[in-house]
Amino acid sequence: MNYSTIKKTIGIAALSLLSVSTFAQDIIARQAPSDKRLKDIHNVKLNNTARLSADLNNPADNIYMDWTDNLRSCTGTVPSNYKIDLRGFHMPTPSRKINSHFGPRWGRQHEGIDIKVYIGDTIRAAFDGKVRICKYNGGGYGYYIVIRHPNGLETLYGHLSKQIVKKDQIVRAGEPIGLGGNTGKSSGSHLHFETRVLGQPINPALMFDFVNQDVTGDFFVLQNGFSKGNIAAATRNTTRTEAPMVSASTHTTSVGPKQPTISKPQAKAEEDDKPVSYSVKTGDTLFSIAQKHGTTVEKLRQLNGLKANTILKTGQVIRCS
């Protein structure tokens, strides 16, 4: 190899090294903004997580002014055209069978819908939220749960056989909260499901389509804002929304402007103190009756003055609460 060839080879090698160095610098230069973007995305995620956590600790505190374990006693104000975000929902049960709809029933207002479930079926939270009530009501809902959600809704799950969450617990959409049952004032296993705003029941069918296991739209809009003080003490002034107008193009459900007042018997304000009776059927035992009504054999004996060796008769009326 002559001197000219060696010189040319060294020159090519030097140019190659310079090119590699320049390419490496370009990679580093491009990587710096990428690292910054990743850091920005991470910060956004942290901020969103912190905001969501705050929302769940004080859900819908923009309209609610209190946090009690009284179902109907809610104070606050809902502004006009209040938009309830239904995205991020989870159906509380995969069951598609509706046993009873919202509206007048047996001379009084049925404030939710009854979905057929079996004892032990998993019941799940409809949205992210915080458990406000986790109680037993022998004269009505049996074991029931009320969850308040950041979108302004409260959902109620009644007649459960078991509650697997506690008051003030934060839950996520789709998280198991209880098991289907037949407790309280119930004639068969089912889930009583309600949707409420400031203690006012709103037909769940306006938002949830159980047959198709979906929501009716991305949003539900309350066109008329309202303000409520003590709902339990003002049942005669409770208003109920009328049938919705659905816009398919926007997937938004709107409640019409007219809100007729529906009077309810004063005795309906609370059901906790109403006694519940049960007519014994063939094959019933105190144990099976106690399970159906979410109570104990000992409690049934005390309420009915029964002895340990008492034999139940078909048609015999047993007081359960």
What are 38-94's pLDDT values in tens digits?
A: 555 455 444 444 455 558 999 999 999 999 998 877 888 888 889 999 999 999 999
Helix boundaries (H) for 252-296: 286-292
User: 307 by DSSP, 3-state: which?
Assistant: coil
- pLDDT value at position 4? 59
> Could you give the CA distance from residue 110 to residue 105 in angstroms, rounded to a whole number?
6
Reported for 234-237, long-range contacts at CB under 8 A and 24+ positions apart, including other chains, are 235/72, 235/264, 235/266, 235/268, 235/269, 236/263, 236/264, 236/266, 237/261
Contacting residues for 19 by C-beta, under 8 A, at least 6 apart: none
- When pLDDT is averaged across residues 273-299 and rounded to a whole number, the result is 75
> The whole model's pTM is what?
0.59
- pLDDT value at position 52? 54
pLDDT digits (tens, 9 = 90+) for 215-230: 999 999 987 766 654 3
> Could you give the CA distance from residue 319 to residue 303 in angstroms, rounded to a whole number?
6
Residue 267 reports pLDDT greater than 50: no
- Contact predicate 75/66, CB 8 Å: yes
- When pLDDT is averaged across residues 15-31 and rounded to a whole number, the result is 50
- Contact predicate 238/262, CB 8 Å: yes
pLDDT digits (tens, 9 = 90+) for 211-264: 999 999 999 998 776 665 433 222 222 333 333 333 322 334 434 333 333 333
178 vs 264 pLDDT, higher one: 178
- When pLDDT is averaged across residues 300-320 and rounded to a whole number, the result is 78
pLDDT digits (tens, 9 = 90+) for 97-153: 999 899 888 778 899 999 999 999 999 999 999 999 999 999 899 999 999 999 999
DSSP 197-233: ETTEEE-GGGTEETTTTEES-SEEEESS-EEES-STT
Contacting residues for 16 by C-beta, under 8 A, at least 6 apart: none
> Residue 76's CB: how many other CB atoms inside 10 A?
19
pLDDT digits (tens, 9 = 90+) for 194-213: 999 998 899 999 999 999 99
Contacting residues for 176 by C-beta, under 8 A, at least 6 apart: 122, 123, 124, 164
Q: Name the pLDDT band for 299 (thresholds 50, 70, 90).
A: confident
